[in-house]
Amino acid sequence: MTTLQEHQRMERHVIGQLLRVTKARLKEYIATPTRDMSLINSLEIFVTTRFNSRV
């Protein structure tokens, strides 16, 4: 059995990995560097705030 804290730590780790992969994929698909970063930053902020509000 895992404790709630262990579960949350694992969940954070998985979400962190998912964010890194998603950022890398977005960089591959979006041509304009400035638009690229703003979209990636927006996504990161969205996912981070959604996740942090649950913890």
Domain ranges (residues) in the chain: 4-53
At residue 1, the pLDDT reads: 63
Tell me the pLDDT tens digit for each residue of 5-43: 998 899 888 888 888 888 887 777 665 556 557 777 787
* Per-residue confidence (pLDDT) for residue 3, from 0 to 100: 92
Is pLDDT above 60 for 55?
Answer: no
Q: Bigger pLDDT: 54 or 3?
A: 3
- Buried/exposed code over 15-54 (b: 16+ C-beta within 10 A; e: otherwise): eeeebeeebeeeeeeeeeeeebeebbeeeeeeeeeeeeee
Full-model pTM? 0.45
